[in-house]
Structure 1
Amino acid sequence: MSRKHRCIDVHHHIFPATLRKAAQSESVGFRTPPENLPWSPEVSLEAMDALGVDMAVLSLPAGVPSGPIGPANRAAARELNVTAARICQKYPGRFAFFACLPIPSDTDAALQELAYAIDELHAQGVALASSYGDGADATYIGDDRYDPVWEELDRRGTVVFLHGAQIPSSTPYPHSSLGIPITEVPNETYKAAAHLVVSGKKRRYPNTKIILAHLGGSTLSLAPRVAVLSRHMGCSLMPEEILEDFKSFYYDTALSAHQTTLAAAEHFIDRNRILFGTDFPAVSKDMAGWFTRNVEDFYAADQEQLIDVLSGNAVKLMPSLALSESS
């Protein structure tokens, strides 16, 4: 796929061998395309060239590295970030990355890794999961215990890539074709975003620039419901303030771009808050291509906005991506 203007994929994963992605995917009711495994940068580059993607911002799947808190978790985060940085160095101009952190409630370790990843490895920002922990012990990312990390993210004006965790609901997923990544992950992104809003954390840390994966999951359709019912249930914000805070997120198009969803996004958020993403290599290049064509078709009559969605908005959010173009 060739195009005249630049394309930056802000939602592009890295699957290190230690992740054992094939087995992990099967456990949540999904099949990672076998041609993408074992993953390597060359696998992504081949797909990027086919899709007309000039640069991809790499991130680990949500919740990687997994817990528990301790030396192993801290060491894994460091190793994964160094690996991502080396890929970026090996292929200048083609890759950037969002850093992973140790479990954020491991405050000192998370803050140290945040500083190292951004200041030394030159990460574009950090990737966070919607929640951390298992079962009744899980806490959403707006929990008070994570405030020290949010305070530092806010102080730095950090870009945060927020992705729903692969958490099963209280009932099994309904069908073999409707596994957790299809039915639950989008709702986890919404729940994390809603938690940040109604808890006041989105407003308390206004300098953080949070990208919601998959057009926010179910956020666009449920934000008005939160605005009225959460106010009724004790949220201190007025409905208009709640909606305003939902509009202050950024939203990527990965696995979500369609005439209906893009129209909803256009009506709800500022146009400079829509970013392009593919979710490769979790999906095949053909699947990513279907959503990419939907983006191009939707904005076909507005080339200026198409350019902004494909790359301009990402560069405004992460200006160093523009410098990478000539690397």
Structure 2
Amino acid sequence: MSSAPDSGRVDFHHHFLPSGEQATAMIRRLMVDTEWSSPDVSFPRWTPEISLSAMDSLGIRTAILSLPNDLEHALAPEQRRGFAREVNTGAARIVAEHPGRFGFFAHLPTPTDIDGALEELRYALDTLGADGVTLTNVYGNGAEARSLGDPVFEPLWAELDRRGALVFLHGEQTFGSNGAPSRFLPVPVSEVPNETYKAAADLVTSGRKRQFPNVRIILSHSGGSTPFLASRVAGLSPLLGCELTPEEIIADFRTFYFETALSGFETNLLALENFVPAGQILFGTDFPAIPRDTAAWYTGNVDRYCADRPELFGRLMHGNAERLLPRLSPR
């Protein structure tokens, strides 16, 4: 077992891959569906030791594990519940076996099954000690699709709000109507960041963000295009009947947290600092969905951005994380 590095980074966007044929088949299906495949992109291998090695090389003290949500949408509802329980008990076991190095966001069965989602939420938080839950911005396809602002999810949001829970929100990984522009622009490159923005905009304009203010929501990948398109929502949605004013819409967008996975770049960081207080910016890598060298490139960009501001560096790397999750604090 490795000892925690001194730099103390907390990685809020760090995936793990459950063992077993069913989970492996789901991940492979996801790679095919998103066209995330080329001679240079292999099927990701994962063990705790692989993550610990990458974490040590990147100066990461603790990684909060998560799994892309709704992998199991093709399964029957009772099988989805079993899969979520398997994922969460496995994650809790990894956390227990490596004290201080990992936490995890609970995986919920497809939350349009509200009873199943609430049961797993309670078990994961109360029994397994999960740090929060992970959600995707939309569940289902076509006429069956339900975005997170939909009334069907209100009981879930109400329970998360009652608990003041932490939610890690990821954009869905399905093509737009026209597919990928090229092999260099598969779904994770061209679609996911905008789906994350759509999640934020949906929660704001539906009133859910204001209705359930105690839920602390982290937007993956620096919110995708959120900092750049929030003003578009603020200016145009009231014309379409949104009851919030432009100022209220902007204010609600500014209550999200943002993490730096695949967006550690000066332009993105400048936009985030302009859009939200520095206390709402967190560190993330997206390992092992991307190779260690790619994660190191983005991490190095963040380090250089903060090079002359050690206080900001400390807040982004671990201070803000310790305020969100006090158990992470060395004190």
Query: What interval of TM-score do these two structures reach, taking the shorter chain for normalisation?
Result: over 0.9
The answer to whether the Cα contact below 8 Å between 2:44 and 2:289 also exists between their aligned partners in 1 is no
1:278 aligned residue: 285
1:171 aligned residue: 178
Summarize the alignment of residues 1-327 of structure 1 with structure 2, pairs less than 5 Å apart. Answer: 4-17=6-19, 18-20=23-25, 21-31=27-37, 37-68=44-75, 70-322=77-329
Shift of 1:67: 4.5
The answer to whether the Cα contact below 8 Å between 1:62 and 1:164 also exists between their aligned partners in 2 is no
Counterpart amino acid of residue 6 in structure 1:
G
SS at 1:108's partner residue? helix
The answer to whether the Cα contact below 8 Å between 1:69 and 1:103 also exists between their aligned partners in 2 is no
Note the alpha carbon deviations across 1:303-323, whole angstroms, 9 max, x for none: 01111101110110111222x
Measure, in 2, the Cα distance between the counterparts of 1:9 and 1:88: 14
Note the alpha carbon deviations across 1:250-301, whole angstroms, 9 max, x for none: 0000000111010000001011000000000000011000110111111111
Are residues 165 and 13 of structure 1, via their aligned partners in 2, closer, same or farther at CA, if it must alter by over 3 Å?
A: same
TM-score after normalising by structure 2: 0.94
- RMSD (Å) for aligned C-alpha atoms: 1.7
TM-score after normalising by structure 1: 0.95
The answer to whether the Cα contact below 8 Å between 2:280 and 2:320 also exists between their aligned partners in 1 is yes
Counterpart amino acid of residue 33 in structure 2:
S
Note the alpha carbon deviations across 1:88-142, whole angstroms, 9 max, x for none: 0111111000001111121121111111100110000000011101223111111
Shift of 1:14: 1.0
Note the alpha carbon deviations across 1:221-265, whole angstroms, 9 max, x for none: 100000000111111000010000000000000000111010000
The answer to whether the Cα contact below 8 Å between 2:55 and 2:61 also exists between their aligned partners in 1 is yes
The answer to whether the Cα contact below 8 Å between 2:70 and 2:109 also exists between their aligned partners in 1 is no
Identity %: 48
Which deviates further from its counterpart, 65-74 or 265-274? 65-74
Measure, in 1, the Cα distance between the counterparts of 2:152 and 2:317: 36
SS at 2:60's partner residue? coil
Measure, in 2, the Cα distance between the counterparts of 1:123 and 1:86: 11
Are residues 159 and 44 of structure 1, via their aligned partners in 2, closer, same or farther at CA, if it must alter by over 3 Å?
A: same
Counterpart amino acid of residue 5 in structure 1:
S
SS at 1:210's partner residue? strand
Shift of 1:25: 1.3
Measure, in 2, the Cα distance between the counterparts of 1:65 and 1:308: 36
Counterpart amino acid of residue 125 in structure 1:
G
Aligned length: 323
Structure 1 unaligned spans of 5+: none
The answer to whether the Cα contact below 8 Å between 2:5 and 2:60 also exists between their aligned partners in 1 is no
Shift of 1:36: 7.0
SS at 1:182's partner residue? helix
Which deviates further from its counterpart, 35-44 or 147-156? 35-44
The answer to whether the Cα contact below 8 Å between 1:202 and 1:245 also exists between their aligned partners in 2 is yes
